Structure 1
Amino acid sequence: MSDSQNRSRVAVITGASSGIGAATARSLHAAGYRVALLARRVDRIEALAAELGDGAVAIEADVTDRDALVAAAARVEQELGTADVLVNNAGIMLLGPFSSGQREDYRAMIEVNLLGAITTTEVFLDQIKDGGGDIVNISSVAGRVSGPGSGVYSASKWGVNGWSESLRQELLPAVRVTLIEPGIVATELPTHITHEATRTGVQQAYDVATVTAEDVAEVITFTLGRPRHLAINEIMLRPADQAL
């Protein structure tokens, strides 16, 4: 799809304040999309919208707050037009040993990673379906491979994977559903881990990550640009040296 054709398309990106979300916003805007930047950290998305210029709007929204999402959907339609693409990127990775001390982290991961994507999709679905659109769900390799300290994070991503496949079958052929499962990507995800020893170990791995948020954004932009008769439903990507 050419840049001129993309200029009529509107992409909504959650978690657009950093990492894969911000990189995807830049990539899609460069490809001609109008972009709605949704996140809680309004200062960051306002700065990104200013950087991108025309065709970018910053909207403060928490994916765990349905009322905020409904208001965001109304703003998108009013200011940019009907949404054609939804990128469910908002997510947190609060790894750590399974214990009562981590119970708030467990709840947060399920609410943001799984229920947040489900609720955002439910709110925007009528817009996406109107002209035939795309839903891109950002999952993780952890949705396929689990290990000590990642159980609830993996559970949230396994949930995204299963829900995405059901959604794909339910919405075809009008809406294409794509599941993106990155491995280690150089983002700020580890900085939010509350368990100190886990955070230190994970940060060391992320500090040497060779895959960037821009790499993932490029894959998303390529996938969305395929002709409508072709659906790329699942992509797993890792650093070339990542074993699991």
Structure 2
Amino acid sequence: MSYELKEENGFTYIEEGKGETLLLLHGLMGALSNWEDVVDEFKDRYRVVLPILPIYDLPLLTTGVKSLSKFVHKFIKYKKLTNITLLGNSLGGHVGLIYCLAHPDMIKTLVLTGSSGLYENAFGGSFPRRESRDFVKEKVEYTFYDPATATDALIDEVYATINDRNRVIRILAMAKSAIRHNMGKDLHKIKIPVGLIWGKNDHITPPEVAVEFNKLLPNSTLYWIDQCGHAPMMERPQEFNRHLTEFLQKVN
């Protein structure tokens, strides 16, 4: 990713542009580069901020979705962010939901794409055999509708991550925390506008998850992207940005 990575006060993040805040949260196996096309599109209109979530740095006993929400709150307070649209993919969406429940006055709008929080089929229902790059390749490709979206660089990144014992332990702990922390009974409390931008071919958080979110969130709008998997902002960036623009114009 071509943007400058800043390090301040224990936070590592990217910040581009000026205006109202667009705060982007990556997923469990995600990276800041997943959002590059969103940054490119919106940095002329928004203050786009992307923190690295400390998934691999929390003490094992506190590794979980609630701890990430607390981290996000510390980051927002440190950066003095206001007028926030919080946009989360996968685990990042789950963290965003928890944050909105804990701090209902801090977030103006929420956008979820392939979000966990109700149901997810992580890694296709199995954890990869660490010794097999081909197996990792298959499971990374499973994330997308078009397997070609899973570049060699992305596969290598995931392969390296799951061959790091410290990271694997925390990935498993975080995944278990996400499964335990089902949001179904609490979603009715989130009254702010919520945009749901979903791939119709998402195998990880399937279309019925988006339909359920749309039913349970009282002020939500659902946008579909055809021939698209779990990370629409990577696989169909132009369509994703168009839907995001439409939603933001609708709620502003």
State the TM-score bracket (shorter-chain normalisation): 0.3 to 0.5
* TM-score (norm: length of structure 1): 0.42
* TM-score (norm: length of structure 2): 0.41
